[in-house]
Chain A
Amino acid sequence: MENKLKRVLDQVTAEEELKNRTRKFLREERNRSGISPWRSLPRLIPAAACMVLLVVWGYWLYFVPTATISIDINPSLELELNRFDRVVGLRGYGDGEDLAQTLSVTHLDYDQAMEQIMQSQPIADLLAQDAVMTVGVIGRDNAQTARLLVSVEFHAAQQENTYCYQAHREEVEHAHELGMSYGKYYALLELETLGAEVTAEDVQNMTMGEIWDMKEQCKNHNAQSTSQDQCQTESEHQSHSGHSGENGHNGHGG
Chain B
Amino acid sequence: MRSEQEVNAAIDRYADTIRRVCMLYLKNSADTEDVFQTVFLKYLLSDQVFESQEHEKAWFLRVAVNACKDLRKSFFRSRTVSLEELTDLPAQLPEDHREVLEAVLSLPRKNREVVYLHYYEGYTAPQISQILGKNASTVYTLLTRSRQMLREKLGGDEFGE
Contacts and interface: CB of A to CB of B under 8 A. Distances in A.
Interface in B6-48: 7-8, 11-12, 15-16, 18-20, 23, 29, 32-33, 36-37, 40-41, 44-45
B160 interface: yes
B88 interface: yes
Contacts, number: 88
Contacts of A26: 4, 7, 37, 40-41, 44
A11 B12 CA distance: 16
A22 B40 contact: yes
Interface of A: 1-2, 4-9, 11-15, 18-19, 21-23, 25-27, 29-30, 35, 39
Contact of A35 (B29, B36, B45, B158): B45
B16 A13 contact: yes
Interface of B: 1, 4, 7-8, 11-12, 15-16, 18-20, 23, 29, 32-33, 36-37, 40-41, 44-45, 88-90, 93, 96-98, 100-101, 104, 116, 119-120, 150, 154, 156, 158-160
A160 to B, nearest CB: 73
A5 B100 contact: yes
Contact of A1 (B11, B20, B33, B156): B156
Contacts of B40: 22, 26
A8 B37 contact: no
Contacts of B18: 14
Given A1-B154, A35-B44, A22 B93 contact: no
Contacts of A14: 15-16, 18-19, 36
A22 B96 contact: no
A50 B152 CA distance: 55
**Which of A5, A27, A29 lies at the interface centre, i.e. has the most chain B CB atoms within 10 A of its CB?**
A5
B120 A9 contact: yes
Contacts of B15: 13-14, 18-19, 22
B93 A8 contact: yes
B97 A7 contact: yes
